[in-house]
Amino acid sequence: MQQQTLGLTTLFADEWLAVVDKPAGLMVHDSKLARGETDFAADRLREQFGKPIFLIHRLDRATSGCLLLAFDRETASALGKTLMSQDVDKEYLAVCRGWPEPAFTVDHPLDGGPGKPEKKPAVTHFTRLTTGELPVPSNGFETSRYALLQCRLETGRFRQIRRHLKHAFHHMIGDTSHGDGRHNLQFRMRGVHRMLLHASTLSFTHPVSGERIAVTAPLDAEFRKAYALFDWDEKML
């Protein structure tokens, strides 16, 4: 890998914290799910900023977008408390199969992933931004239907959005663990090889200045390919 590809795009930074744009396919940190992986966002960011970093939240490997970190323990602790108080607003974009209702909420408890069987409350709010169709027969229909969703997390459980969309029978496109392989294939055949989940916006109160910080991460090339399939407006971000 060439050196210039190692740095993550910085969306906001000051002496206390930063928000970076994590690319899809990059693991945030080492874990039981790493399976021999040696390239992690946390390691890149320590080198990139030249100092310790403290991750405030996580993104799945296949998810792109806004990732919040702090540069000292005090700021990390303050941001952690802000996160727990639900004063951090996180919005995601996802493409799912089918045309769900214009707005719906999934309230369905989830476990914590491998080795964490205890189920805890999990709530996700979804808004349908637009819809599209591909000329592929599906389930007795002449076309295959898809929707672009805005997703707001009320809780932050393991793979919450992905698992909640599966629970609602509107599987996320590109999700090889909880999605629908038939629909994933249709997108791969059209050049879209990533899971279509993007942490698009992040807003929070700065723990030092008290200012409200709002950051938006742009879509990557493959997510824009999905938009292009349906002539969706990239301003829907």
pLDDT at 4 exceeding the cut of 50: no
Confidence of residue 39 (pLDDT cuts 50, 70, 90): confident
pLDDT at 214 exceeding the cut of 90: yes
- Residue-wise pLDDT tens digits, 41-73: 999 999 999 999 999 999 999 999 999 999 999
- Residue-wise pLDDT tens digits, 11-38: 999 999 999 999 999 999 866 555 667 7
Q: Does the model's pTM come out above 0.85?
A: yes
State the average pLDDT over residues 77-95: 93
- Answer for the pair 89, 204: CB distance below 8 angstroms, yes or no: yes
Residues 6+ apart with CB under 8 A from 21: 8, 9, 10, 11, 64, 65, 66, 67, 217, 218
pLDDT at 3 exceeding the cut of 50: no
Percent of the chain, pLDDT > 90?
82
Catalytic annotation present for 220: no
pLDDT at 5 exceeding the cut of 60: no
Q: Mean pLDDT across the chain, nearest whole number? A: 92
Selected catalytic residue, list 60, 180, 220, 231: 60
Distances (CA, A) of 42 to 26, 31, 71, 75: 10, 12, 12, 17
3-state secondary structure the chain: CCHHHCCCEEEEECCCEEEEEECCCCECCCCCCCCCCCCEHHHHHHHHHCCCCEECCCCCCCCEEEEEEECCHHHHHHHHHHHHCCCCEEEEEEEEECCCCCEEEEECCECCCCCCCCCECCEEEEEEEEEEEECCCECCECCEEEEEEEEEECCCCCCHHHHHHHHCCCCECCCCCCCCHHHHHHHHCCCCCCCCEEEEEEEEECCCCCCEEEEECCCCHHHHHHHHHHCCCCCCC
